[in-house]
Amino acid sequence: MAKLPELPRIPPEKKFFKISEAVTLCGVRQDVLRFWESEIPALRPIRRGNQRRYRPQDILLVRKIRELRYGKGLSIEGVISELKKEREGVPEELAPLAAPPISQMLSKEMIRELQEISSNLKETAEFLRNK
């Protein structure tokens, strides 16, 4: 298995990425990314006119494809097969939602901050209920 270079963190504040941003975040060329879109049914970014918009789950999927293709040396057919195995039991219409959990996109610090905010909101709600 080949050791692939580490990829940059996915900015959690962004909901969509242009293809130029996606290739930087995924470590592949634009032509490779477009080819994968044509060959791998699970990879379907949103299209607005002629432009592709990649969601964070699309970026994670491309990274997974990259790992399977270049890290494990699988063919495109092998990648498709592996992705199908991972999504077994997930209904087709829910497949886009079966992306890796958001916690894989956030840093530990951000997760702690979100947990703290959640806790504060619960305390505030409890206070208001008892008022």
pLDDT digits (tens, 9 = 90+) for 33-60: 999 999 998 899 998 888 999 999 999 9
Kindly state whether residues 105 and 85 are assigned to the same domain.
Answer: no
Query: Where residue 82 sits, what CATH number does that domain have?
Result: 1.10.1660.10
Kindly state whether residues 117 and 89 are assigned to the same domain.
Answer: no
Kindly state whether residues 94 and 106 are assigned to the same domain.
Answer: no
φ, ψ of residue 46 in degrees (nearest 5): -75, 140
Distance (Å, whole) CA 28 – CA 24: 7
Distance (Å, whole) CA 17 – CA 22: 6
Kindly state whether residues 93 and 112 are assigned to the same domain.
Answer: no
Query: What's the chain's Rg over C-alpha atoms?
Result: 18
Kindly state whether residues 70 and 110 are assigned to the same domain.
Answer: no
Kindly state whether residues 62 and 118 are assigned to the same domain.
Answer: no
pTM flag (> 0.85): no
pLDDT at 112: 78
pLDDT at 90: 58
pLDDT at 3: 81
Which structural domain, as residue segments, surrounds residue 23?
1-98
61-109, pLDDT tens digit by residue? 999 999 999 999 999 999 998 888 877 765 555 555 555 555 555 666 7
